[in-house]
């Protein structure tokens, strides 16, 4: 194809991809808010806000200055920079979702155009446009793309894919334009580190075509990748996966390999039958530590079959077989991108996720598009009708699944509820749904989800902390205390201290509550009243004064704070001290309604000699109309 024909085809295929994504995912993207990693990657990441800080981004991990429990071993500075630019123009969740959808459409459409160019270069120009169109249709409708588009924090996938596709177009260009591939590839590395896998199909392309000039470009890409990888590893070494994110972390090699083969079979199943896709595949969702025999044997057989086919097609490609080169490129790209997250070479940062299938699915869509176009070319009218029927049925089924899956990603509540429905033993989804129920004021439902999560992962401190908070709000002091006791050996971070503070205030364990509050960096105005109650109950006047100063109140003259102190004195078994505080308030605020009644009742029960005269004075004041 000529250059202007290629440009026209690319534009049309991008339009097709955008239309399909808009129809299937557009309604959900328009309504969607922030879910899962959107908060740490965007909302809580200072580097994702205006003004951009390019230099800091190069030295920062993915979540920015995040807590230590988050994965700190990867870096996506270009993606975070894009988030900062969006913040600068005032984009909210709706605008960010539309940007992700547009990037995905451009990447898919341009990949279809890349396939069309490759088919034309192979001498099958009559198949080129049809192959590109079918590739675009298959890629745009496949439901595994939903997670990477409707979850804004998963944007590294479509952004890196778009940049790699642009690098592929540049590599096919003639003359100095080829060197744009190095720039696009470098940008893809900054979008997501897994872009390095593109070097494998690029190298095969160069060797098969014996193109020395393209080889120089690919060599520059290899050098760039090596430099970036060395820089990243020296700045932030790869983090050890957590047992919840990856149940195979720290297991013996044979256990990891067996689980990895099972994951290969599971990934192939999601690619072939992408229905009922779960938003989480972490601990206990998939039986990776003890997979069924049939499952991991199927994965092993599939891996060996792909390796054998790749070897066979690769040899034919090196002998000049253009058709074999296309098959080998697709298989090698799929294997190169999925291999690092298959757990076979090493334990990756997470067990698996639908978003990691973005590039493998794109490569296989190209293979399917070229095969379908060739089959159409050879078939008679009846067989063409069969092909149209099959593709239409598959496309409609995939579109329905994609639309349904996308709707689950609209809100944290809908996503967590769907996650628990599809994977009842998902620790993450149980934790998220429990947290949302707790925030919504339903501690009973929250405690139920937290207890299920704890039974699966008893070592997860975050779940235990929130379980203690839920039990505290239910007034179940015994179980709440037992829950926090299980965390006694852990470092007392802010979340754990707040849980101890709440439990102590609610259940009258004021000494423990005051100890937890004193460990906080500074009295938080939002926590000041709870800290004040804990301090009064524990008899810590210094801590009580600091809490009052943080809130900017005079506690002896503020009715609400006096009421808080009276509560603490009563729970601590000091009714006389509670009465004294009410008498002090009456002296400072003699016109407060209802105060005299409270004082009279307490005075009638008071047995302390020192307060009797103050009680008598209080009655005289009341008779004089003061209260």
Banded model confidence at residue 293, pLDDT cuts 50, 70, 90:
very high
User: Among 53-62, 161-170, 350-359, 417-426, which stretch is predicted with the lowest mean pLDDT?
Assistant: 53-62
What would the mean pLDDT of 159-178 be, rounded to a whole number? 93
* Of residues 517 and 284, more confidently modeled: 284
pLDDT for res 512: 84
pLDDT for res 361: 96
Assess contact for 105 and 21: CB atoms under 8 A.
yes
Banded model confidence at residue 204, pLDDT cuts 50, 70, 90:
very high
**SS3 for 119?**
helix
Query: What sign does the CA torsion over 464, 467, 472, 477 have?
Result: negative
**SS3 for 75?**
coil
The rounded distance, in Å, linking the Cα atoms of 329 and 154 is 26
Distance of CA 207 to the CA centre of its chain: 39
Res. 505: pLDDT tops 60:
yes
pLDDT for res 42: 92
Res. 545: pLDDT tops 50:
yes
475 dihedral zone (left: phi>0; alpha: psi -120 to 50; beta): left
Highest averaged pLDDT of the listed ranges 6-10, 226-230, 301-305? 301-305
What would the mean pLDDT of 169-191 be, rounded to a whole number? 93
User: Among 10-24, 187-201, 360-374, 507-521, which stretch is predicted with the lowest mean pLDDT?
Assistant: 507-521
pLDDT for res 69: 44
Tell me phi and psi for residue 397, to 5 degrees. -65, -45
Res. 121: pLDDT tops 50:
yes
What would the mean pLDDT of 323-336 be, rounded to a whole number? 94
pLDDT for res 496: 82
416-575 CATH: 1.25.40.10
pLDDT for res 96: 95
Domain ranges for the chain, please list them: 3-408, 416-575, 576-627
CB atoms within 10 A of CB 601: 11
Highest averaged pLDDT of the listed ranges 48-62, 360-374, 605-619? 360-374
What would the mean pLDDT of 225-245 be, rounded to a whole number? 83
The rounded distance, in Å, linking the Cα atoms of 136 and 129 is 11
Banded model confidence at residue 555, pLDDT cuts 50, 70, 90:
confident
* Of residues 593 and 450, more confidently modeled: 450
pLDDT for res 524: 64
- Identify the residue whose tokens are 């707790």: 438
pLDDT for res 295: 95
Q: 40: burial class by Cβ within 10 Å (0-12, 13-18, 19+)?
A: middle
pLDDT for res 625: 40
User: Among 121-125, 170-174, 232-236, 620-624, which stretch is predicted with the lowest mean pLDDT?
Assistant: 620-624
User: Among 57-61, 217-221, 325-329, 401-405, which stretch is predicted with the lowest mean pLDDT?
Assistant: 57-61
What would the mean pLDDT of 492-516 be, rounded to a whole number? 82
Cα-Cα-Cα-Cα torsion 531, 536, 542, 547, nearest 10 degrees, comes to 30
Banded model confidence at residue 68, pLDDT cuts 50, 70, 90:
very low
DSSP letters of 29-54?
HHH----TTHIIIIIS-GGGSSSP-H
CB atoms within 10 A of CB 604: 8
For the segment 471-482, what is each residue's pLDDT rounded down to a tens digit?
988 888 888 888
The rounded distance, in Å, linking the Cα atoms of 232 and 216 is 24
User: How many CA atoms are closer than 13 Å to the CA of 365, on its beta-carbon side?
Assistant: 30
* Of residues 151 and 349, more confidently modeled: 151
Mean pLDDT of the chain: 88
For the segment 70-116, what is each residue's pLDDT rounded down to a tens digit?
445 678 999 999 999 999 999 999 999 999 999 999 999 999 999 99
CB atoms within 10 A of CB 524: 16
* Of residues 294 and 57, more confidently modeled: 294
pLDDT for res 624: 42
The rounded distance, in Å, linking the Cα atoms of 219 and 170 is 15
- Identify the residue whose tokens are 């908070």: 469
The rounded distance, in Å, linking the Cα atoms of 14 and 101 is 12
Assess contact for 42 and 421: CB atoms under 8 A.
no
Roughly how many angstroms between the first and final C-alpha of the chain, as a whole number? 95
DSSP letters of 140-182?
HH-GGGHHHHHSGGGTHHHHHHHHHHHHHHHHHS-GGGGGHHH
Res. 219: pLDDT tops 90:
yes
pLDDT for res 626: 39
What would the mean pLDDT of 126-142 be, rounded to a whole number? 95
Question: How long a stretch of residues is the chain?
Answer: 627
pLDDT for res 618: 67
pLDDT for res 532: 87
Q: 252: burial class by Cβ within 10 Å (0-12, 13-18, 19+)?
A: exposed
pLDDT for res 66: 54
pLDDT for res 72: 54
CB atoms within 10 A of CB 204: 23
Assess contact for 199 and 170: CB atoms under 8 A.
no
What would the mean pLDDT of 311-340 be, rounded to a whole number? 93
CB atoms within 10 A of CB 620: 9
What is the DSSP-derived secondary structure letter of residue 79?
H
- Identify the residue whose tokens are 């995912």: 25
The rounded distance, in Å, linking the Cα atoms of 428 and 37 is 12
Which stretch of DSSP H or E encloses residue 229?
Answer: helix 212-235
């Amino acid at each position: 194809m000529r250059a202007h024909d290629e440009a026209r085809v690319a534009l049309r295929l991008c339009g097709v991809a955008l239309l399909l994504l808009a129809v299937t995912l557009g309604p959900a993207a328009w309504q969607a808010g922030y879910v899962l990693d959107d908060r740490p990657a965007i909302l809580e990441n200072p580097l994702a806000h205006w003004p951009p800080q390019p230099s800091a981004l190069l030295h920062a991990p993915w979540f920015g200055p995040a807590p230590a429990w988050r994965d700190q071993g990867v870096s996506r500075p270009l993606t975070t920079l894009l988030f900062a630019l969006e913040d600068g123009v005032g984009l909210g969740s709706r605008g960010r979702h539309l940007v992700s959808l547009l990037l995905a459409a451009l990447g898919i459409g341009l990949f279809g155009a890349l396939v069309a160019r490759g088919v034309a270069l192979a001498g099958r120009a009559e198949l080129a446009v049809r192959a590109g169109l079918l590739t675009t249709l298959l890629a745009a409708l496949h439901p595994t793309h939903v997670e990477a588009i409707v979850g804004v924090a998963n944007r590294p996938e479509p952004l890196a894919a778009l940049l790699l596709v642009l690098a592929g177009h540049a590599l096919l260009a003639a003359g100095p334009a080829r060197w744009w591939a190095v720039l696009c590839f470098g940008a893809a590395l900054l979008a997501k580190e897994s872009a390095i896998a593109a070097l494998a199909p690029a190298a095969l392309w160069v060797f098969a075509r014996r193109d020395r000039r393209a080889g120089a470009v690919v060599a520059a890409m290899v050098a760039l990748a090596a430099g970036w990888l060395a820089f990243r590893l020296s700045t932030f070494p790869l983090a050890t996966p957590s047992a919840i994110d990856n149940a195979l972390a720290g297991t013996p090699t044979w256990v990891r390999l067996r689980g990895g083969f099972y994951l290969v079979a599971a990934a192939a199943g999601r690619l072939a039958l992408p229905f009922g896709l779960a938003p989480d595949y972490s601990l206990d969702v998939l039986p990776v530590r003890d997979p069924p025999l049939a499952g991991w044997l199927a994965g092993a057989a599939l891996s060996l079959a792909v390796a054998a086919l790749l070897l066979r097609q690769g040899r034919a490609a090196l002998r000049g077989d253009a058709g074999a080169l296309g098959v080998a490129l697709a298989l090698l790209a799929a294997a190169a991108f999925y291999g690092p997250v298959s757990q076979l070479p090493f334990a990756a940062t997470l067990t698996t996720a639908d978003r990691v299938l973005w590039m493998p699915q794109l490569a296989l869509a190209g293979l399917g598009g070229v095969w379908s176009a060739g089959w159409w070319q050879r078939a008679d009218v009846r067989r063409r009708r069969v092909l149209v029927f099959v593709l239409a049925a598959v496309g409609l089924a995939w579109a329905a699944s994609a639309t349904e899956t996308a709707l689950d990603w609209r809100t944290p509540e809908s996503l967590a509820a769907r996650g628990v429905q599809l994977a009842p033993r998902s620790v993450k989804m149980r934790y998220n749904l429990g947290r949302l129920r707790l925030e919504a004021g339903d501690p009973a439902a929250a405690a139920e989800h937290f207890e299920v999560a704890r039974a699966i992962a008893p070592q997860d401190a975050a779940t235990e902390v929130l379980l203690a908070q839920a039990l505290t709000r239910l007034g179940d002091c015994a179980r709440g205390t037992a829950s926090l006791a299980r965390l006694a050996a852990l470092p007392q971070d802010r979340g754990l201290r707040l849980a101890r503070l709440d439990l102590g205030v609610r259940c009258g364990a004021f000494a423990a509550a005051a100890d937890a509050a004193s460990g906080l960096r500074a009295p938080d105005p939002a926590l000041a009243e709870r800290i004040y109650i804990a301090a009064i109950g524990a008899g810590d006047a210094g801590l009580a004064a600091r809490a009052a100063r943080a809130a900017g109140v005079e506690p002896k003259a503020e009715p609400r704070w006096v009421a808080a102190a009276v509560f603490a004195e009563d729970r601590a078994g000091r009714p006389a001290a509670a009465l004294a505080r009410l008498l002090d308030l009456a002296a400072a605020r003699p016109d407060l309604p209802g105060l005299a009644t409270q004082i009279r009742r307490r005075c009638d029960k008071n047995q302390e000699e020192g307060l009797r005269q103050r009680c008598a004075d209080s009655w005289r004041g009341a008779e004089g109309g003061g209260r």
